[in-house]
Amino acid sequence: MEADPTGAPIDSAPPPSTRVPAAGQIVECRVGALAHDGRGVARIEGFVLLLRRGLPGDRVSARVTAVHRNYAEGEVADLLEPGPDRLAPPCPIVDRCGGCPWMPLDPSAQLLAKERLLGDALERVGGIAGAVLEQIVPSPRLLGYRNRIEFHFANGPRGLAVGLNSEGPAGTMADVDACLIGSERIDAAARAVREALHSRGLRAAARTRRGEAAAAPEESGAGNGLLWNLVIRESRRTGDLLVHLVTMVGALAAEESLGDDLMTVIPGLTGVVRTETPRRRGQGPVRTRLLAGRSFLREQIGRFLYEIEAGAFFQVNTEAAERLYADAVAAADPKAGERVLDLYAGVLGLTLPLAERSGRAIAVESAPDSIASAQRNARAPGVGRIQVVRGEARRAVHDMARESLRFEVVCVNPPRSGLHPEMPELLASLAPRRLVYVSCNPGTLARDLAAFGRAGLRLVKARPYDLFPHSPHLETIALLEPAA
């Protein structure tokens, strides 16, 4: 069984008699299911067509955009008959902005689709039959749930524009005044930042068709062509608001007053941070500095108050993350005195409640901003001793295995790429009584669970969590124990 680039299993090469569509061709078809990246899956005489903006049950006129050996890609040109779960979306730019591809899909159907995507990945990718897959936990909010929005800068006909990734050609942007999955405070802050930068004559960096930074334009005036991204983070519990400006390397016009000006015009703003990044990765250092206020915000999850640096990872859905963390700790079930290892620990979102119950923990993290946050958060009262190890997770586990260290509880929360192929066997060598895997990618989770099975750790249960309504993304908690 082969898979398309999204991880959706598809049949191997179609029969010779199958009519293969051509790029640019308009075809009529009906969408039958959803792929792992959120696109609709249709079939034309047995040939798979992945459709952007296609939802189950839709009968559409589709434009083929690319043809591969055993599947094609396309987009909906005309909706001929809506599927039974298609609704009128509340956002007026949902067809132009790529952030919420499932917003026209009934929320209950979204949850069912995510359960199916996880179950399908466990069975087809992981080879895990009869896995204990529990019912998905919905997000407490469907709109206004994000505590972090990343905007992009562009040079529009009316000057500097701030918006979101576009569903149009690569490198384009949908200019927005409000994002419905964020908050009014974030929207207002983005508008204020745009006005402050526009008044200084600053311009966005040129982007290539792939959305990468192009060569610096030959323009006079400090700060021209440097603006890249704008990240605004909001604490739902403390009210903190943080502005993070990401630019190319160079001097911004009137930068010395920018931070103070923003602190004056944006209510509740607690800090302004600027990160300078080279136009090509690896061509120079990434430098971050504070322009005004403080470089972090504070957010409360459970009884713990976390300090989160501007560039540190933290779950974007505060209310849903609180349930996710509580359930992960309950699954890990650390007892007093047990040794706990938390890998990809971030700002210690899981480490603190784990250490509160066990009295000690080792947290491993590599990202500089997350390390800075973790070192401060490790001093939280009532959590016992937390050792924060700065380094790459695989190397740290290699060292622990070589020293024959053992841990009763191990937690991992890797990026979308999942674990390195060596990690399941290495982690099994630490002899955990319980291993909790928090995943944001069903495909790599299923792959890693299969590897854990070969290493002697079996899947006990898995439960999906909807932290990202209106998108195909989901989180999963998987509990593993030693095979009998």
The model's pLDDT over 335-379, given as tens digits with 9 standing for 90+, comes to 999 999 999 999 999 999 999 999 999 999 999 999 999 999 999
One-character DSSP codes across 74-109: EEEEEEEE--TTB---S-TTTTTBSS-TTTTB-HHH
The model's pLDDT over 38-50, given as tens digits with 9 standing for 90+, comes to 999 999 888 999 9
Identify the CA nearest to 350 among candidates 431, 464, 438.
Answer: 438
Region 305-317: mean pLDDT is 97
Distance between CA 134 and CA 478 in Å, rounded? 10
- Fold observed for domain 2-86: OB fold (Dihydrolipoamide Acetyltransferase, E2P) (2.40.50)
pLDDT of residue 2: 45
Distance between CA 144 and CA 165 in Å, rounded? 18
Region 441-448: mean pLDDT is 97
- Fold observed for domain 148-299: OB fold (Dihydrolipoamide Acetyltransferase, E2P) (2.40.50)
Residue 46: count of CB within 10 angstroms of its CB: 11
Name which of 93-102, 119-128, 444-453 the model is least confident about: 93-102
The model's pLDDT over 281-292, given as tens digits with 9 standing for 90+, comes to 666 778 999 999
Q: Are 349 and 300 in contact (CB under 8 A)?
A: no
Burial class (CB within 10 angstroms; exposed 0-12, middle 13-18, buried 19+) of 39: buried
Report the predicted TM-score, pTM, of the whole model to 2 decimal places: 0.92
Residues 6+ apart with CB under 8 A from 267: 185
pLDDT of residue 98: 81
pLDDT of residue 230: 96
Helix (H) or strand (E) holding 66: strand 59-67
Give 167's pLDDT tier (boundaries 50, 70, 90): low
pLDDT of residue 254: 86
| Residue bearing tokens 């009519």 | 19
pLDDT of residue 131: 75
Q: Are 397 and 343 in contact (CB under 8 A)?
A: yes
Q: Phi and psi for 15 in degrees, rounded to 5? A: -60, 150
pLDDT higher than 60, residue 13: no
Give 198's pLDDT tier (boundaries 50, 70, 90): very high
pLDDT of residue 218: 38
pLDDT higher than 60, residue 393: yes
Distance between CA 122 and CA 462 in Å, rounded? 10
| Residue bearing tokens 């190397």 | 395
One-character DSSP codes across 266-326: STTEEEEEEEEE-SSTTSS--EEEEEEE-SEEEEEETTEEEEEETT----SBHHHHHHHHH
Domain 112-140+317-482 has CATH 3.30.2290.10: no
- Determine the straight-line distance between the first and last CA of the chain, rounded to whole angstroms: 30
Q: Phi and psi for 58 in degrees, rounded to 5? A: -65, 135
Residues 6+ apart with CB under 8 A from 452: 424, 427, 428, 435, 458, 459, 480
Region 254-279: mean pLDDT is 94
Residues 6+ apart with CB under 8 A from 474: 114, 117, 118, 136, 440, 442, 464, 465, 466, 467, 468
pLDDT higher than 60, residue 133: yes
Q: For the chain, which residues make up each domain, given as ranges?
A: 2-86, 112-140+317-482, 148-299
Q: Do the two domains 2-86 and 148-299 of this chain adopt the same fold?
A: yes
Q: Are 137 and 464 in contact (CB under 8 A)?
A: yes
pLDDT of residue 283: 66
Give 65's pLDDT tier (boundaries 50, 70, 90): very high
